[in-house]
Amino acid sequence: MVTLAEVAQHAGVSASTVSYVLSGKRSISTTTRHRVEQSIRELGYHPNAGARALASSKSNIIALMIPLRTDMYVPVMMEIAIAVATAARTHGYDVLLLTGEEGPDAVRRVTGSGLADAMILMDVELDDERLPFLRGTDQPSVLIGLPADTSGLTCVDLDFRATGALCVEHLAMLGHRDIAVIGEAPAVYERHTGFAERTLDGLRTRAQELGVRLLHRPCEGGYDAMAVTLARILDERPSTTGFVVQNESAVEPLLALLRQQGRAIPEDVSVVAICPDQVAVQASVRLTSVAIPAQEMGRHAVERLVAKLDGRGSDEVVLISPELMVRASTGPAPAAS
Amino acid sequence: MVTLAEVAQHAGVSASTVSYVLSGKRSISTTTRHRVEQSIRELGYHPNAGARALASSKSNIIALMIPLRTDMYVPVMMEIAIAVATAARTHGYDVLLLTGEEGPDAVRRVTGSGLADAMILMDVELDDERLPFLRGTDQPSVLIGLPADTSGLTCVDLDFRATGALCVEHLAMLGHRDIAVIGEAPAVYERHTGFAERTLDGLRTRAQELGVRLLHRPCEGGYDAMAVTLARILDERPSTTGFVVQNESAVEPLLALLRQQGRAIPEDVSVVAICPDQVAVQASVRLTSVAIPAQEMGRHAVERLVAKLDGRGSDEVVLISPELMVRASTGPAPAAS
DNA sequence: AGTCCCTGTCGAAGCGCTTCGACAACCTAT
DNA sequence: ATAGGTTGTCGAAGCGCTTCGACAGGGACT
């Protein structure tokens, strides 16, 4: 393993000079710089991460805490994770992957050991148990998701309340008066995941404002669960003509079931999905949808974090505005029969 | 930040003693140990990762290189990543997330800087450009996937050849004589991803042995692509009654299309999928499938790697035996009309 | 009583890097 | 010609930990 000292010797300069060439924190003559760079290349030198971290108390690592459960939005999570890793690299950071398993302990461990300089938390619950510790430390952090109390925190998220409102608006505008919401699995609501509740709030509020009737039903993904849920909904409100689907894995089953019952999309019923664009265009009907901008969220989170690490930027909540893309799954409500 | 020295002082022992309590590398009297542990708890001490890495030349970090592209098996990748992270933690390792973006350079960077003690590579191509370097270094590594030449490497993968064979066998046993294979997207074959080619090989070989006719067509995921592909297949071989689907995102579209054409599953046509169990049971028909054991692969990879790091274990190829689970999507071939 | 061997503890030497103060060497402005 | 600034380089201290050799004290032997 090549060390700084060896490079210095090879280039005929002192170790500190090499260090300054690397960091650029002091001016170095062009000749010397070139000579050092040459030696680095020839010897194939890579600075030792541990020594660096020890001497500078900076690890150049960002910890990313992803949820352990895979009961929702797996592709979204993955996409965010990749976006975070990619964005972090462009700023010279590597990403440490933590699963939610250890919970608050992981946060303490990583902070305490100086393993990472900062962290990004995903799947934040409204009253997340990791938050008190995060507020109490000066380790920079960014949440992807929105807890109930955001004071002293930086958060990045899609504006799910606006997303809900947007979906209702779109359907209402098309004349739908009875809208059913296929929500996330009950477990998601039970642990008070912010985005699910906010979406619902947005849906309800706007529905009320527009005088539209709304029926919300949580639903596990999959065909069978969707079949049961749909039957109940149509039983309770046969006049339903608009659907908003939040649970990605319920989308395709819903479409199949509706078709099977002889309800044409979008002639008889309209469906709006909240899902990644890729899902929306790959479905059996090109879905009118509000996209979940995973990439953008990941990138934003890293940028906020790097800003904090550089002493720029402060606590703030970044809500990304939802955009509704009209495709082939929504249309005017059928004339009342 | 609490240091070893502070703990030592608080406990009234020397720093080395605290270190030995932590590592257990020398015997320590029960009294002293308890006193030290008490101090550690009281002061909330966490060993500094950088210092540790520097002094011991071990980072206790495993690098995990995941593919950047998201054109296939996203949930599988995610599940593996989570399994790796979880398994690594139980062995005292953390996981560094690398995207394939940097390619071989990332391997060199991480190895050279001592950032990680070992690495796990996913999405290995048959003739992967990262392999030469991996062979040339003494950094332990495990591949998830199987390259063409496995000499000097440790690999973990599902036995995709056997998987292919198993699918054909099952259909042949049920009397199907004409089988169509819905493969991965063309791009996957173009970059010579091992698993896709091996599966195909397994399918073809067994088909020949059993005297069954096989038609293989790559297919992008999604509804429209599947529709085109299916039309071509049925045009070319109208007598097709068995399908093997490898591309996860083609499964549901295929089912929908078949139904739409009035072909009943499993009365008229049988479908075998190669996909995670979760997908198989959530589909609109409970699918007969060979599961991709993501968790198991991740766990295995970590265990092999830890064995190497402990000086146990050597290069070897672990092929997980496929298991075909019969569900509701396959049945006897219809009598020839 | 003396020898030998454990067991438990300590001190000190690094690990490879960053960073601070020092200081030649040179340039510019008096 | 001299004082005052720059600029480029160096030496040394130290980051917090691991680990090696040393050694005191106490049993178990001869």
How far, in Å, is the CA of B243 from the C1' of nucleotide D2? Answer: 95
Instruction: Output B282 or A92, whichever has higher pLDDT.
Output: A92
Q: What is the pLDDT of residue B335?
A: 85
Inter-chain CB proximity A81 and B97 less than 8 Å: yes
Q: Which residue on chain B is closest to A87 by alpha carbon? A: B99
Q: What is the pLDDT of residue A67?
A: 87
Tens-place pLDDT, residues A280-327: 988 889 999 999 999 999 999 999 999 999 988 788 899 999 999 999
Strand D nucleotides, any atom under 7 Å from protein beta carbons: they are 7-12, 14-21
Q: What is the pLDDT of residue A16?
A: 97
Q: What is the pLDDT of residue A70?
A: 67
How far, in Å, is the CA of B45 from the C1' of nucleotide D23? Answer: 30
Q: Which nucleotide is nearest to B113 (CA to C1')?
A: C16
Q: Which residue on chain B is closest to A222 by alpha carbon? A: B282
Q: What token pair was written down for A171?
A: 């359907």
CA distance A38 to A33: 8
Tens-place pLDDT, residues B190-210: 988 889 999 999 999 999 999
Q: Which nucleotide is nearest to A52 (CA to C1')?
A: C17
Q: What token pair was written down for A299?
A: 């990138």
Identify the band that residue B337 occupies on the pLDDT scale cut at 50, 70 and 90.
low
- β-pairing, A61-66 vs A94-99, is parallel
CB proximity B13–strand C (7 Å threshold): yes
How far, in Å, is the CA of B30 from the C1' of nucleotide C5? Answer: 21
Calculate the CA A312 to chain-centre distance. 23
Nearest Cβ partner for B99 among A50, A86, A223: A86
Q: What is the pLDDT of residue A103?
A: 84
Nearest Cβ partner for A53 among B49, B98, B223: B49
Identify the band that residue A207 occupies on the pLDDT scale cut at 50, 70 and 90.
very high
Place of tokens 């194939």: A44
Q: Which of A223, A285, A302 to mutate to test the interface with B (most CBs of B within 10 A)?
A: A223
Identify the band that residue B103 occupies on the pLDDT scale cut at 50, 70 and 90.
confident
Q: What is the pLDDT of residue A109?
A: 94
How far, in Å, is the CA of A103 from the C1' of nucleotide C8? Answer: 37
Inter-chain CB proximity B59 and A66 less than 8 Å: no
CB A253 within 8 A of CB A217: no
| DSSP β-bridge partners for residue A317 | A155
Q: Which residue on chain B is closest to A115 by alpha carbon? A: B49
Q: Which nucleotide is nearest to A6 (CA to C1')?
A: C16
Contacts of B112 in chain A (CB under 8 A): 1, 44-46
Q: Which of B's residues 6-35 have CB atoms within 7 A of nucleic strand D?
A: 15-16, 19-20, 22-23, 25
Question: Which domains are present in chain B?
Answer: 4-47 (1.10.260.40), 61-158+294-320 (3.40.50.2300), 160-292 (3.40.50.2300)
Residue B93 has pLDDT above 60, yes or no: yes
Inter-chain CB proximity A222 and B97 less than 8 Å: no
How far, in Å, is the CA of A28 from the C1' of nucleotide C3? Answer: 66
Residue B230 has pLDDT above 70, yes or no: yes
Q: What is the pLDDT of residue A72?
A: 65
Place of tokens 């039903």: A217
Q: Which nucleotide is nearest to A56 (CA to C1')?
A: C18
Residues A157-174: what's their mean pLDDT?
98
d(CA A51, nearest CA chain B) in Å: 5
Contacts of A70 in chain B (CB under 8 A): 75, 78-79, 82
In this prediction, what percent of chain A has a pLDDT beyond 90?
Answer: 83
Q: What is the pLDDT of residue B118?
A: 96
Residues A20-45: what's their mean pLDDT?
96
Sign of CA dihedral B231, B233, B239, B243: negative
Residue A337 has pLDDT above 80, yes or no: no
Strand, coil or helix: A229: helix
| Residue at the smallest CA–C1' distance to nucleotide C13 | B55
Inter-chain CB proximity B68 and A82 less than 8 Å: yes
In this prediction, what percent of chain A has a pLDDT beyond 70?
Answer: 99
- β-pairing, B288-290 vs B324-325, is antiparallel
Q: What token pair was written down for A63?
A: 């910890």
Q: What is the pLDDT of residue A279?
A: 86
**CB contact burial B101-137 (16+ within 10 A = b; e otherwise):** bbeeebbbbbbbbbbbbbbbbbbbbbebebbeebeee
CA distance B229 to A337: 40
- β-pairing, B94-99 vs A94-99, is antiparallel
Q: What one-character DSSP code corresponds to residue A322?
A: P
Tens-place pLDDT, residues A213-259: 999 999 998 889 999 999 999 999 999 999 999 998 899 899 999 99
Tens-place pLDDT, residues B145-164: 999 999 999 999 999 999 99
Inter-chain CB proximity B282 and A221 less than 8 Å: yes
Identify the band that residue A102 occupies on the pLDDT scale cut at 50, 70 and 90.
confident
CA distance B293 to A182: 30
Q: Which residue on chain B is closest to A101 by alpha carbon? A: B86
Length of chain A counted residue by residue: 337
Q: What token pair was written down for A276?
A: 């990644």
Q: What is the pLDDT of residue A335?
A: 85
Inter-chain CB proximity A113 and B61 less than 8 Å: no
Tens-place pLDDT, residues B234-284: 999 999 999 999 998 899 899 999 998 999 999 999 999 999 998 898 888
Q: What is the pLDDT of residue B108?
A: 93
Inter-chain CB proximity B89 and A75 less than 8 Å: no
Inter-chain CB proximity B70 and A82 less than 8 Å: yes
DSSP state string for A51-74: HHHHHHS---EEEEEE-S--SS-H
CB proximity A29–strand D (7 Å threshold): yes
Tens-place pLDDT, residues A70-86: 666 778 888 899 999 99
In this prediction, what percent of chain B has a pLDDT beyond 70?
Answer: 99
Tens-place pLDDT, residues B283-314: 889 999 999 999 999 999 999 999 999 988 78
